[in-house]
Amino acid sequence: MLHIHSQYYYNAVPVGSKLGDRIAAAKIGIIFHTAYSGSTVADMQASFGASVDGLTSTNSVWFDDAFYKDMTGRASLTPAEDAKIKNTLLSAATTFRKIDEKDFNRIIFTGRTTKAGDEEYTEFANYIKPFINNMVRGGEQVGDPTAFLKNFLTYYNGKQEAEIAKLKGGPDSAAAQARIQKIKEKEKFMADNSNTLLGILAIYKRIIEAKVMLLQKMQQVENIGTFIKTDDGYRVTAPEGFVAIGHDGGAVKLVDRIEFSRQNFAATKSWKK
């Protein structure tokens, strides 16, 4: 049986199973992710990790919380898996220590604040994000950092050349020459900052590798299947992600970008049609 999880994702449990029978008998189903406390709606504070222990069970409403149940032996990392993740993060940390802190911050955080002299960094940030999104649409991850930067420069040059082609004054116009100059400046920027950029991409790649290992482990213990509706019916897919809640109340969401974000992009495109 299926029930809608989002506008294009569905969850499923086996028909005839104990959980399936409970859901089939209910009129609605709810998964509680967040708890709110406060005397008025305006003053309420949200906290992750809502518990359903204090709720009264009823046949017309099936509900549960978002906590993992006891998955001893299934959700735990094996010694080999634990060592692999630790080594991956250690490699990222080693690379991080080799990067100048100022250069790292200018590239990573530019775009959130505007500072004089950061124009080149800002433009890089504005183009790198849609470039990565294009990779996600194609089901690609960041591979070799050197090849990534080379492909990005090709992408950037293509964008600028497409704009030049639209100009009425042609390639000799002032506007066209300004864009040609931007291409040269981008090439110089990447050459001058190649070590920092390659280091950041290496860190990015390692973090993704560790995240994917954790996602794959958690997907093994998922007890409600996930499907996506396609033109040919329903296709089994991985969950959109998981939320890890810390003892201090903070939370981190791990999203499978190659699966979930790619479907988001595809769905957005279909909505426009």
pLDDT at 262: 54
Query: Is a pLDDT exceeding 50 seen at residue 123?
Result: yes
Is-contact 237 229, C-beta < 8 A?
no
Q: Which of 24-33, 99-108, 141-150, 240-249 is predicted with the least confidence, judged by mean pLDDT?
A: 240-249
Task: Look at residue 77 in the predicted model and tell me its pLDDT.
Answer: 78
257 pLDDT above the threshold of 80? no
Is beta strand 233-237 parallel, antiparallel or unpaired with respect to 225-230? antiparallel
Burial 256-269 (b: 16+ CB within 10 A, else e): bbbbbbbbbeeeee
CA distances (Å), origin 218, targets 26, 64, 214, 244: 27, 18, 6, 11
Q: For tokens 């004054």, name the residue.
A: 169
Kindly state the average pLDDT of the residues 117-125: 74
Asked if residue 271 has pLDDT above 50, the reply is no
Of 133-137, 188-192, 218-222, the range with the lowest mean pLDDT is 218-222
In this prediction, residues 214-225 reach a mean pLDDT of 69
DSSP secondary structure letters along 15-27: TTSHHHHHHHH-S
